[in-house]
Structure 1
Amino acid sequence: MKSLPASQELLKLEALARKQGSGIEINSLNGLWKFVSVWKQGKEKEDLFSSFMLRFISASLELRQDKGSHESMPLVIVNSVVIGLLKLEFIGRGELKGSQPLLPFFFDQIKVSFASRVLWSRPLDEPEEKERPFFALISMGANGEWLAARGRGGGLALWLKG
């Protein structure tokens, strides 16, 4: 596995990002990000059980630019988990705001697939802007190999580009 930052280093990077920005730009986010680790709000120690479970179910975050019909929300965001041939996806839109930056997003579709065949899909209501979840993007590896962010609920997450 590639060299990933420890929790103390992530906290230092977060403080720096709040003061000076992270330098993360929209183009660098494109790709599939596989979940690696999570820390609960206020904890310096990794939540080993949650991290293991999220890796076990192949939790991932896909981000890609789409300049189609949603110019104000130029990112497509897909949050998914996979168990065997069964896949659950939440699909939506997001954008970058500010210098840290924040990545507010929403999901407008849920989809369940088995062996690449869609079994069930339905639209989701778009939440009000102030109620949307977000990631505060903290830092990215020098070669774009990892991404760290803090969610609206206060948890800290680390992904590896897959």
Structure 2
Amino acid sequence: MDSIGMDSMNQQGAAVLAQAAQAQQSNGAGRPKASDLVTALQATEKDTKPDYGLADLVGTWRLCFITGTKKTRQKAGVALGAGRYLPKLIKIQLAYQADTDDQGQVQNSVALGQLHLVLTGPVKFWTKSRCLGFDFTQIRIGLGQFTLYQGRIKPEAADQDFYEQPLKEQAFFKYFWVTDGGIAARGRGGGLALWYRAAG
């Protein structure tokens, strides 16, 4: 296939991702079929060489679509592996902040009604492999405005130890689509995910 045809396919895949992120950010109308979105994610991952850094990920992103990892596909079969949109009832968000060009913090929050769970920890951006390693070292559980529990999952030294680890010892996301409105990545376990930028 010539470069013009390949560029056209890349643009089509990215357009589907943008459509899905925008649809989920609004009322969900006009969102692509799950199977079409998985195809677009795979095509964009294969044909795109992303040029981004940790600064481009700074902000809050709401998870809206996932596919199964290799293990879950084996256990749950094709249905989960094909991918699914997350219901609005479940609010899962990632919030990144950068302390330096390649180090920062991540907050992963899950909310279901008034109950919410927040995990925080360090992140490291690996420039050569374009991967974002992360770890969760602290936890907070709340109900509405009340904090039910807050503490460390790992000792304080774990944060600094994380930065000294090689990538192979870290959990990570390999982002392949990074825009102002949405991001997409493959996780270490093999699953694909799409987020849109959360308001506020």
Aligned residue runs from structure 1 range 120-131, under 5 A: 120-125=149-154, 126=158, 129=165, 130-131=168-169
Q: Which has the larger radius of gyration?
A: 2
Q: Which has the higher strand share?
A: 1
Between the aligned residues of both structures, percent identity stands at: 25
Which segment is superposed worse, 81-90 or 94-103?
Answer: 94-103
Q: Which residue does 1:158 correspond to in 2?
A: 194
Name the TM-score, length of structure 2 as normaliser: 0.65
Q: Per the alignment, do residues 135 and 33 of structure 1 end up closer, same or farther by CA in structure 2, a change over 3 Å counting?
A: same
State the shift of 1:99 in Å.
4.4
- Conserved? CA contact 1:88–1:111, under 8 Å: yes
State the shift of 1:16 in Å.
2.8
State the shift of 1:45 in Å.
6.4
Q: State the Cα deviation string for residues 71-121 of structure 1 (Å, max 9, x = none).
A: 8x6221011111122210110110111345100010110111222332201
Q: SS of the counterpart of 1:28? A: helix
Q: State the Cα deviation string for residues 17-40 of structure 1 (Å, max 9, x = none).
A: 4xxx31122221111100110112
Report the Cα distance in structure 1 between the residues aligned to 2:45 and 2:68, rounded to whole angstroms: 15
Structure 1: where are the runs of 5+ without partners?
A: none
Aligned match for 2:68, one of 40, 58, 63: 40
Report the Cα distance in structure 1 between the residues aligned to 2:124 and 2:47, rounded to whole angstroms: 22
Q: Which residue does 1:98 correspond to in 2?
A: 127
Q: Which has the higher helix share?
A: 2
Structure 2: where are the runs of 5+ without partners?
A: 1-17, 22-36, 71-77
Aligned AA (2:178): M
Report the aligned-residue RMSD. 2.5
- Conserved? CA contact 2:66–2:86, under 8 Å: no
Report the Cα distance in structure 1 between the residues aligned to 2:113 and 2:68, rounded to whole angstroms: 28
Report the Cα distance in structure 2 between the residues aligned to 1:116 and 1:102, rounded to whole angstroms: 35
Q: SS of the counterpart of 1:77? A: strand
Q: Per the alignment, do residues 66 and 114 of structure 1 end up closer, same or farther by CA in structure 2, a change over 3 Å counting?
A: farther
Q: Size of the alignment, in residue pairs? A: 149
Q: SS of the counterpart of 2:116? A: strand
Aligned match for 1:26, one of 54, 59, 71: 54
Q: SS of the counterpart of 2:52? A: coil
